[in-house]
Each structure stands twice: as structure tokens, then as C-alpha cells.
Structure 1
């Protein structure tokens, strides 16, 4: 109670956006006091920005100008990307936030995660599922470019369904962040076009640094936040983190089936739909929102990422088992079919 009172009477809060949130949040239980030191907070912000930049350069290095031109002239993949990524996931986030009756700022966090474009992790998962890599890369690329217009638009539309949520969304900061991610992505495309020998190194280095950064951010956040991290591990957010990627995978496969795509393309669209760009989501939540407003909720994308990876691994194992069983059946019945075939008459029988 004392820390909450200090929030209202601290004159420094009148000079930033956190006091605006505090006055609006007086009727809710989600009032976060500054939990991390300014140095720790700035360190995490810098790490998130750096890793997002590296990730987007790595993503750009996977894109080839010739393939981009091909899919621009035949935009079927782009249309599926728009329908799956910006049709299924934002609607899923909205419905889950409503179903679990989330407080305003928590609903904003879930909506931002649902409205994010596809992530580069989907390319690796599509490869593990023997999907169409050209379609996977184009879907990730197109959803990232379209995010500049679609993400603010969808946030505006879906926020209308919540009372007073509109006031919590920093649209300008989100648009700035989206513009900034397109610059390193374009740099990666140029590197892949003019210096393709460096593109492979950058892709491997980017994935390695991403894994390291996730661990570092998790450790620093745990130290700075302490017991407040249990807010992110609450039952409603854990349930939403589990259901969102599962629904994305399922409806991505259904939508691609309606478009009569082949099996490898269906698996690709499923992965592209369920996998979100968690680096972008975490960076927006951490950098665009005041610490007193967002609290530990900027870690929700990591919860989502854990479930999306775990569920994808289960699907990969099931797919591999299905392949193995199918292959065993073919090997079992193939010899029986060959033995029953009539032998061709030899030339000696006609003599």
C-alpha cells in the first residue's frame, strides 16, 4: 500500500506517462511500481533493440530478389499470408482476452502479440516439417512489410471492444518500431543480393545471438523483477500462451486446405500462422510502454514463444512418426507385390 501511495504522490511521475496510467488504473489491481533500476531497465532495452536488429538482418538474408519478384507477380502466397496472419491471430487474441476477462493493460499486451507479423523461427520449423521454404520466406517477408499498416489498424479496431483500452496503445511508438525493423531487413536483402557468401554467416550468427539474448534477457529480468514475474506466469496468461499458437497452427492448416494447397504448403502456412515475431513484440512492449505501466508483462512473448516452440516440436515428432510408419508399411508390402508379378516369357520358350 505504501508503494502504491508513493506512486500517486511522487512529483516525478507527473512528468511522464506512467502517472497517466496510475490514475486510470486506480480501479484495477494492475498497478506496477518501478521494479528495476534505470541502469538495468536501459540495459534490457538496448539488448532487445540490438537483437531485434540482428534478427531482422538475418531474416533479410534469407530473402532473394528473384523469388520476391516472382511472388509479387503471382501474389497467392502473399494473399494467404495476409488472411492467415492478420485474420486468424488478432481475432484469436481478441477472443481469448475477452474469454478470460483480462484487465485493460493485459489485454493490450495479448492484442499486440496477436497482431505481430510472423517470426523467423517459422522458417526453421517449416524446414523441419519438410515444408515449402520459398513460401515460408515470402510469407514471413510479406507479413513483416504489411505489419507497418496492418498492426496499428488491427490494434485500433480490436481495442474498440474493450473499455478505455484505446488510451493505453502507443500507436506512434509502434509505427516507429515497425519502420525501424524494415531498415535492417532491407539491409539483409541487399547483403544477400550483393554478398551472398556473407549471408550464410550472418544467418547462423543471428540465430546463435538470438538464443543467447533470450537467456540473458530472462536472467536480467528475473533479477530486476523478482517475485513479480509470477504475474506473467498466472493461469490466464499461461492458458492464453498455450492456446494462441495451437489455434494458429490449426487454422493455418485449415485455411491452406481451403485454398487447395499441397501438403508441404499446408504445413508451411500452419507454421507461419502460429509463429509470431516475439522479438518485435517484446521490444515494443519494453520500449514503447513506461515501466510503471507494463511491469513484468513485457515477458509474456517469452511465455508465448515457449508454448509455440513446444507445440511445434510435438507436431514435428508426430509428422516424423507418421513418415516412419508410412515408410515401414511400404517396405513391408513392396516385396509381396513384386513376388506375385508374372515372369516375362524367355526367348527359349518360343524355340
Structure 2
């Protein structure tokens, strides 16, 4: 029986349970998911609020207005987000010859808007934080219309997907971005002396929160992750962020954005809102299928974080190396000039 092409069987439960990936693994994942879901959600909400308030403290009202009045960078980021990522997900699913149910999970993730992780990575890469927040807000707002359209185009014949787009969750995500970020902007505008303290303390708490969430997720799925996630899905989860980063940077370079804006567009393109992807999967598919499908956004979330942190480390090393190289290059010349000046003065 083809579970994907027969949506009615999802509703009446008429499919045989042994057609799923690994029955015992699925049951284990679902059982633990119910226990861990509330804890992870609370941690994510607290972390998101800390992230957006801290990032808001790095923003300036005048620069935000500039990106809204001249939305070149925002338009390029939206083009990359909703043009490259869904198409790339479709091509990778075809290239790796995924089963229909796994392909749908990949496509849903590819059609999601940018996640707030991109804002944290943009800060680490010394990107344009004003552009980053505006891009994330715009892509989340546009998701109300773009996600149903993209899911219709790339997942034709799956009516439950269009019906499962969680409009309320998208609006909640938008509010969770704008309200705390707005608080940070106001603090930076009216009390800039406090903004620096909040930013430093907030970033330290963010790092701790991400570490705690990562440990919980590893404990949660340590026994079932590899048994459910096939090598093909792992490869796609690893490739999608990297390709998104690369294409985002290339497209912004073609349109001659600044280096800071290029790095910002790159991480905004490669980072996906995996929480939204997991929500759609929960709404669109029965619990028996959630085990194998839920693992892809989890894997994508972990790998995009790891790859993003690796980018930051490489970028910081590059900056430090080039800084030392410039100092070494200029130092002898300045010394020679001083000696020449001294000898000329003595003469």
C-alpha cells in the first residue's frame, strides 16, 4: 500500500503498521517525544526570547528603516530562501531516490522560512544584524502565502499538506521574533549603556541554553536516531545547509551586496525553521509515521547548527590570520620609514 498516495488511509488507520521504517524505534521515539516535548518547547521559547532581546540590542532604528526603504538585500534573501531551498530539497530527494514519505519530509523542510538560528550565526559572522532580523521577519510573514504555494507545486497530489500549514504557529513565530527584538531595539535606543550588558549576558545564556537543548536532544534520540535515519537522509540533512550557505553568498555577490550583507544572506538562506517543519509533520501525518519523518528536521537542526558554528570558527580564524598578516606586512615598512627619518634628521 502507498501511504502517501492514499491520504484517506491516514485518517482511518487502515494501513498496516509494519510498513513503517522500524516499528520498535518509532514507538520508542513517540513515547519519549511525549515526555520531552514540553521541556524542549519551554527551553526553546526561553532561548528564543533571550536571542531576540540580545540581538535587538545590536540593532539601530535608522538602519532598519534603510533596509525597509531600500529592500534590495531583503528581496535577494527572499528569492534565495523560497527559490533555492525548495528546489534544492526537490533535487536532492530525486538524486538520492528517497521513498515518497521521506521525500515529503525533506520537501516540507525545504519550503519552510528562515529560522532564528540565522540571526545568531549572522552575529557570530559579523553580519548585518539589522538586515538579518528584517529578513527573518519578512520570510516568516511571507510563509503564510509561500508555504501553501510551494507545497502545492512540489508535493502535488498530497492535499493534506496544504491543509496542514500551521498559520497560527507561523504568526506566533512572527510575534516571538518581533516583540522581544522590539524590546531590545528600544533598550538600545533609549538606554544604550544597558544594551551592551544585556547583549553580553544574553549571548552567554544563549550559549548555555543551546548546549542544554543539544544534550537533551542527543539523550532523547541517541538509540533511535541512526536506526531511523538512513544514510541518504543524513547526507541530505548535511548537504542542504551547506548548499544554502553557498548559493546565498553567490547570489548576493552577483547583486554586489557588501561583505557583511553577503554573509547575512548566506546564513539566512541555509538555515531553516525546523520547528515549523516538525509542526507541519505532526499536523499532516498520523503518529505511526511521525517517528521516521520527525527525525529529519531534528537531524537538519543539529547539522545546520554544527555547520554554522564551523563557519564562524573558520571566519574568525581567517580574520585573525589576515589581521596578523597585515600587521607583519606593514610593520617592516613603518620601521624603515622611522629609521630613514631618523637618519635624515641626524644628517
1:299 to 295, 311, 319: 295
Cα deviation per residue 1:265-292 (whole Å; 9 max; x = unaligned)?
2122212211222233334334553211
Q: Supply the distance in 1 between the matched residues of 2:303 and 2:30 (Cα, whole angstroms).
A: 31
- Deviations along 1:115-169, one digit per CA (max 9) or x if unpaired, are 2222222222222222222222222222222222222221111113xxx4x2452
CA contact (8 A) 1:57 1:186 kept: no
C-alpha distance in 1 between matches for 2:20 and 2:9: 23
**C-alpha separation in 2, matches of 1:180 and 1:139:** 17
Pairwise CA distance, 1:65 = 8.4
CA distance in 1, matches of 2:246, 2:120: 18
Aligned to 2:241: 245
**1:84 Cα shift?**
1.7
- Pick closer, same or farther for the CA change 1:206–1:287 going to 2, 3 Å: farther
What is residue 78 of structure 2 aligned with on the other side?
82
1:76 Cα offset (Å): 1.7
Please tell me whether Structure 1 or Structure 2 has the larger radius of gyration of its CA atoms: 1
* CA distance in 1 between partners of 2:183 and 2:290 (Å): 36
**1:230 and 2:222 are equivalent in the alignment:** no
Aligned pairs, how many?
A: 326
Matches of 2:204 and 2:283, distance apart in 1: 27
227 and 322 in structure 1: CA distance in 2 versus 1, 3 angstrom threshold: closer
Residues 174 and 288 in structure 1, CA contact (< 8 A), matched pair in contact too? no
Among 136, 146, 152, which residue is 2:132 paired with? 136
Q: Secondary structure at the match of 2:127?
A: coil
Q: Are residues 1:177 and 2:173 paired?
A: no
Equivalent position SS for 1:169: helix
| Contact 2:115/2:272 (8 A) holds in 1 | yes
Aligned equivalent of 1:9 = none
Check if 1:343 corresponds to 2:337: no
Q: Is the 8 A contact 1:278 1:301 kept in 2?
A: yes
Name the SS of the counterpart of 1:35 in structure 2: helix
Mapped to 2, the partners of 1:152 and 1:48 lie a distance apart of: 27
> Shift in Å at residue 110 of structure 1?
0.6
Change (3 A) 1:37 1:144: closer
After superposition, residues 234-273 of structure 1 pair within 5 angstroms as 234-273=230-269
Shift of 1:217: 4.1
Decide whether aligned partners of structure 1 residues 84 and 69 sit closer, same or farther in structure 2, where only a CA change above 3 A counts: same
Q: Which residue of 1 aligns with 2:216?
A: 216
Instruction: Specify the alignment match of 1:19 in structure 2.
Output: 13
In structure 1, what is the Cα distance between the partners aligned to 2:166 and 2:207?
24
- The root-mean-square deviation of aligned C-alpha atoms, in Å, is 3.6
Residue 38 of structure 2 is aligned to residue 46 of structure 1? yes
Q: Is the 8 A contact 2:21 2:292 kept in 1?
A: no
- Give per-residue Cα distances to partners, 1:222-269, cap 9 Å, x unaligned: 5xxx5475121x110111011111101110110110110122221222
Unpaired runs of 5+ in structure 1? 5-13
Gaps in structure 2 of 5+ consecutive residues: 2-7, 189-193
Cα distance in 1 for residues equivalent to 2:242 and 2:342: 55
For the pair 1:115 / 2:107, whether they are aligned, the reply is no
Q: Which moved more, 1:107-116 or 1:334-343?
A: 334-343
Per-residue CA deviations over 1:284-308 (Å, capped at 9, x if unaligned) read 3345532112223212223223322
1:88 Cα offset (Å): 1.4
Of residues 139, 142, 149 in structure 2, which corresponds to 1:146? 142
Could you tell me how far 1:39 is from its partner in structure 2? 6.5
Match of 1:187 in 2: 179
